[in-house]
Amino acid sequence: MTVEPRPALQAVAVSAGYRRRRRHPAVTVLRDVHLAARPGELITLIGPNGAGKSTLLRTLVGAQPPLAGHVLLDGRDLAALSPRQRARRLAVTLTEPVDVGQMTVDAVVALGRIPYRSWIGRENARDRAAVDRALLDAGVADLRDRPLTDLSDGERQRVMVARALAQEPAVLVLDEPTAFLDVARRIEFAAMLTRLSTTTGTAIVLSTHDLAFALRRADQVWLVGGDGTVTAGAPEDLACGDAITRAFTGENMSFDDAAATIVVADDEVPGATVRVVGEGRPRQWAEHAARRAGWTPTPDAADHVLTVEPGTPCRWRVDGTHVPDATRAHGIGFDSLVTHLRGCATPLREDARTG
């Protein structure tokens, strides 16, 4: 029988919100929240703007007390722990840049050892080993002697993760860590977090607006639904059910299972269907181009057949299925393909032929 490890961080019947002035009732944003972050898990916190993600995150890290229920850190009530005890087991990295003057990367990461130092504040061998290990784990050891101000956004974010890792926490909480990163740096950062959760055994909880990242990388997703509830589960369970659809979709929007994200459903040209013939990536991106042009790719009978051949740029040909011997158009590159499809307001039909 498999024994479940004790959660590193747990919310037990938590209600989160704000206490106002005396004689005014508290404002409850989230009610009866039950969550458990287990060691070695990567957990993403998602939800629409204004749903209460920040409120939940602040409550989980002790920045504001719960209105009801308890937050447990390593099985102990977070409210009963001293700041030093919290800092030894819970590390928090915020989105806002931290002003550290001209401190080097090594000095910034060493700040993570403050909860372990005596009042004298001197670094010992264990502190140095923890800092060195954190620099390596976050992939910034080669930057240790550089001032933090000289680094790129992606490098700085890794350094702040290293500082948090130097605390040797059971739980690492990150608030929108990829908000200011470009696409390539986001991918690198996501891969690093996945590796860290596995190799360090740390429970990593991060809030994000990147739904595709949340569903593809996370072991658990915590979905703040906007109705005062939080749903927790495997990303596949939330995606396969209707929880994500209910939370994010709106008018002219839908959840795309293949892309694992919310997409805008463009108004399609009535009857404008196309069957794409090709192989591999050229076919995939030809279908993408067709959708962008407002057409509907289908594997079944369609009004048009789009044949795409590999190349850079690719070659394409569009034929009307009602006139099998006639080529409607041909060209090179997806830009010309989209231009052509957008110009075809009506599918080519036999009774519409001229000349």
Quote the DSSP letter at residue 172.
E
Quote the DSSP letter at residue 79.
G
Q: Do the Cβ atoms of 134 and 165 come closer than 8 Å?
A: yes
Confidence of residue 349 (pLDDT cuts 50, 70, 90): very low
Q: Secondary structure of 96-152 in the HEC alphabet?
A: CCCCCCCCEHHHHHHHHHHHHCCCCCCCCHHHHHHHHHHHHHCCCHHHCCCEHHHCC
Percent of the chain with pLDDT over 70: 88
Confidence of residue 266 (pLDDT cuts 50, 70, 90): low
Q: Give 233's strand partners.
A: 221
Q: What is the CB neighbour count within 10 angstroms for residue 134?
A: 25
Amino acid making up residue 111: L
Residue 179 falls inside a structural domain: yes
The domain boundary residue, chosen from 225, 256, 287: 256
Amino acid making up residue 81: L
As given in the structure block, the two tokens for residue 193 are 């977090």
Which residues fall within 8 angstroms of residue 156, CB to CB, at 6 or more apart? 97, 148
Residue 174 shares a structural domain with residue 90: yes
Confidence of residue 260 (pLDDT cuts 50, 70, 90): confident
Q: Over 50: is that where the pLDDT of 149 sits? A: yes
Domain holding 324, by residue range, is 273-352
The predicted pLDDT at position 320 comes to: 77
The predicted pLDDT at position 352 comes to: 35
Residue 85 shares a structural domain with residue 195: yes
Least confident piece of the model among 101-110, 113-122, 286-295: 113-122
Q: Over 60: is that where the pLDDT of 182 sits? A: yes
Residue 4 falls inside a structural domain: no
Separation CA 264–CA 291 (nearest Å): 11
Residue 322 falls inside a structural domain: yes
Residue 336: phi, psi to the nearest 5? -70, -30
Q: Do the Cβ atoms of 307 and 277 come closer than 8 Å?
A: yes
Q: Over 90: is that where the pLDDT of 303 sits? A: no
Q: Over 80: is that where the pLDDT of 259 sits? A: no
Residue 266 falls inside a structural domain: no
Give residue-wise pLDDT tens across range 186-229.
Answer: 888 999 999 999 999 999 999 998 888 898 889 999 999 888 89
Residue 68 falls inside a structural domain: yes
CATH for 70: 3.40.50.300
Separation CA 140–CA 126 (nearest Å): 19
Residue 2 falls inside a structural domain: no
Residue 93 shares a structural domain with residue 166: yes
In angstroms, the Cα distances linking 128 to 31, 106, 122, 215, 242 are 43, 10, 11, 37, 49
| pTM of structure | 0.80
Calculate the CA 347 to chain-centre distance: 40
Residue 344 shares a structural domain with residue 312: yes
Per the structure, the count of domains in the chain is 2
Residue 224 falls inside a structural domain: yes
**Contacts by 184-189 with C-beta closer than 8 Å and gap 24+?**
185/152, 185/153, 185/154, 185/157, 186/210, 186/213, 188/154, 189/154, 189/157, 189/158
Confidence of residue 323 (pLDDT cuts 50, 70, 90): low
Residue 69 shares a structural domain with residue 203: yes
The domain boundary residue, chosen from 256, 289, 315: 256
Least confident piece of the model among 101-105, 141-145, 167-171: 101-105
In angstroms, the Cα distances linking 138 to 14, 75, 193, 318 are 33, 28, 9, 50
Residue 227 shares a structural domain with residue 296: no
Average pLDDT of the residues of the chain: 86
Residue 134 shares a structural domain with residue 31: yes
Q: Tell me the average pLDDT across 275-285.
A: 89
Residue 108 shares a structural domain with residue 21: yes
Q: Do the Cβ atoms of 35 and 97 come closer than 8 Å?
A: no
Residue 210 shares a structural domain with residue 338: no
Residue 224 shares a structural domain with residue 336: no
Q: Do the Cβ atoms of 9 and 71 come closer than 8 Å?
A: yes
Is residue 121 exposed (0-12), middle (13-18) or buried (19+ Cβ within 10 Å)? Answer: exposed
Residue 212 shares a structural domain with residue 336: no
The domain boundary residue, chosen from 214, 229, 256: 256
Residue 336 falls inside a structural domain: yes
Residue 125 shares a structural domain with residue 28: yes
Q: Tell me the average pLDDT across 167-172.
A: 96
Give residue-wise pLDDT tens across range 38-88.
Answer: 999 999 999 988 899 999 999 999 999 999 999 999 999 999 999 999 999
- 17 vs 268, higher pLDDT: 17
